[in-house]
Amino acid sequence: MTSTSPILKTSQAGASRQGHTWLDRARAVAPVIEEWRDAADQQHHLPEPLVDALARAGLYALAAAAEVGGAEVRDERLVRVVEELSRHDGSVGWNVTIASHAAVIASQLPASSLQKAYADDPKRTVFAGGLLPKGTAEDIGGAFRLNGRWTTASGCRQARWLFAPSTIVVDGQPRLRADGHPDIRVFCVPAAECDILDTWDTLGLRGTGSHDFAIEDVIVGEEWSVPIVLDGPLQPGGLHLANLLPYAAPAVGAVALGIAGGTIDAFIRLAVNKTPTLGSAPLARQHTVHERVGRAEALLSAARALLYATVRELPRSADWSAPVDDDLKARVRLACGHAAQTAIDVVALLHTAAGTSSIFAGSVLERSLRDVHVVAQHASVAPSNIEMVGQYLLGQGLQIRR
């Protein structure tokens, strides 16, 4: 939706005062985002002046724990900030999303480790990495020897700490929990001890810098790790992927919605000034364009309404560990998948209407088309979520994926 849209103003009227404060901060960095987004796309990571602006605005510490100087924003306000940033550049919204999710996970570290991690500068303390166990952690008694290679670590170039989820091994064999599943921990490793590999050469979201990284024979103390359960019963003091996903996924959907909103903004600016080749009137005076803009706005408004209504149903949970029943999990997954697919439809609708203006590198419409398709490939918003919810509604259980 356009930044001047009365629909947008109405939909945000219920946001808290603090929510508006964070939205104001996100809007304040918009000129810096727009100045550096082409460079981010070309360099395959966010340039330092942009990283600095986001840090000074406190946006990397948005979800960090209050005891280390963070704002501990972990609800609808976070989703709104991500959407606003993504209106100007999906890569920025994505990086703040990942940094925020990682901050929530980091908050589960022992208090002494968490304090040390943020001791230097809370605003510049960025965590990155994923949750899939791509490495091994050899138990050497009170500490672990890590080896492995992890993929798509969004924001790793600006991160000070990287998550390296690994399977615990003893005598070369995976250590099993009492329930028979592998014992997995998320290890927090200084970025300086990791080898970042230049692998992020993609269709879109290039500025996210989601490169791979590798670790070889790095010793990490147990106090720098958190147990995570990918399946099976939750361990006390640990993380459970099934509980994390409903809280984390809406911000990913918001990246897609933000890209679509920015596309509408960009198209309106273009339509006012562009007269098509051999045409006699600007795009903005053509009836077919009127219909496309109206339809795009309606599609986006409906998808936003569904996403935010669902987010407001999630129970308050500082560490995202509060159980979420299957009915609500299904609604969240449906809203997130629908948001991403609707965003694709909105972008495609206006990309086509713009004619050749949308096909050149440097065009917002060209970048939006690339970026929104990459967002929609993420497991938390992929079309498979819609399929799995359909299966659930037909009484066949709720699976993560088939």
pLDDT digits (tens, 9 = 90+) for 266-288: 999 999 999 988 888 899 999 99
Give the span between the Cα atoms of 137 and 184, in whole angstroms. Answer: 9
At 143, phi and psi to the nearest 5?
-150, 175
Question: Residue 130's closest CA among 164, 180, 175?
Answer: 164
Q: What is the dihedral of CA 222, 223, 226, 227, to 10 degrees?
A: 40
Q: From first to last of the 402 residues of the chain, give the pLDDT tens digit.
A: 444 443 444 334 344 445 579 999 999 999 999 999 999 999 999 999 999 999 999 999 999 999 999 999 999 999 999 999 999 999 999 999 999 999 999 999 999 999 999 999 999 999 999 999 999 999 999 899 999 999 999 999 999 999 999 999 999 999 999 889 999 999 999 999 999 999 999 999 999 999 999 999 999 999 999 999 987 776 666 788 888 999 999 999 999 999 999 999 999 999 999 998 888 889 999 999 999 999 999 999 999 999 999 999 999 988 898 889 999 999 999 999 999 999 999 999 999 999 999 999 999 999 999 999 999 999 999 999 999 999 999 999 999 888
| Cross-strand bridge partners of residue 215 | 148
Q: Are 295 and 117 in contact (CB under 8 A)?
A: no
Q: Any residues with CB less than 8 A from the CB of 14 and at least 6 apart, and which? A: none
Tell which residue, 157, 150, 324, has the closest CA to residue 234.
324
What sign does the dihedral 345-346-351-355 (CA atoms) show?
positive
- C-alpha angle 339/345/350, rounded to 5°? 125
The region, left, alpha or beta by phi > 0 then psi within -120 to 50, assigned to residue 397 is left
d(CA 339, CA 341): 6
**Nearest CA among 182, 305, 296 for reference residue 254:** 305
Give all strands (DSSP E) within 100-230, no chain letters: 127-129, 135-139, 143-153, 161-170, 173-174, 184-190, 195-197, 211-221, 225-229
Report DSSP state, residue 191.
G
pLDDT in tens, 294-326: 999 999 999 999 999 999 999 998 889 888 999
All structural domains of the chain: 6-124 (1.10.540.10), 128-229 (2.40.110.10), 239-393 (1.20.140.10)
Task: Provide φ and ψ at 337, rounded to 5°.
Answer: -65, -40
User: Residue 244: CB partners within 8 Å, gap ≥ 6?
Assistant: 105, 131, 320
Expressed in percent and rounded to 5, the helix, strand and coil fractions of the chain are: 50, 15, 35
Q: Among the residues of 162-320, which ranges form H helices?
A: 241-273, 287-311
3-state secondary structure of 255: helix
Is 134:212 a contact under the CB 8 Å cutoff?
no
